[in-house]
């Protein structure tokens, strides 16, 4: 999105801009919720696939570490910084 000088906009243009930004924010929040649901499903499936393995004391949990990074990478692809 290019830089916009708010002082140069008419009130109607400012209202339109605010509405557009609110819509973009709502869409991003929906996408975040969708990805959180996908993560929860994936973690649930991974836990169900490994019911007899148990957890070793002191061992890092592998399920959460990679999957959260994957979701953040997906978000970066969908909403690159500076957009």
3-class secondary structure per residue, 5-74: CHHHCCHHHHHHHHHHHHHHHHHHHHHHHHHHHHHHHHHHHHHHHCCCCCCCCCCCCHHHHHHHHHHHHH
- 70 with 34: CB under 8 angstroms? no
Does pLDDT of 63 surpass 60? Answer: no
- pLDDT score for 18: 92
Determine the average pLDDT of the residues in 41-46.
Answer: 86
* Residue 62 confidence class, pLDDT cut points 50, 70, 90: very low
Handedness of CA 3, 8, 13, 17 (dihedral sign): positive
What ranges do the domains of the chain cover? 30-47+63-83
Higher pLDDT, 30 or 56: 30
Q: Give the confidence band of 59 by pLDDT, cuts at 50, 70, 90.
A: very low
pLDDT at 35 over 80: yes
């Amino acid at each position: 999105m290019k830089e916009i000088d708010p002082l140069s906009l008419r009130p109607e243009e400012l209202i339109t801009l605010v509405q557009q930004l609110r819509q973009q924010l709502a869409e991003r929040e929906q996408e975040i919720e969708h990805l959180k649901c996908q993560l929860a499903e994936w973690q649930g499936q991974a836990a169900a696939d490994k019911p007899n393995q148990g957890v070793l004391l002191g061992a890092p949990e592998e399920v959460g570490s990679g999957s959260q990074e994957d979701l953040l990478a997906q978000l970066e692809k969908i909403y690159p910084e500076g957009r």
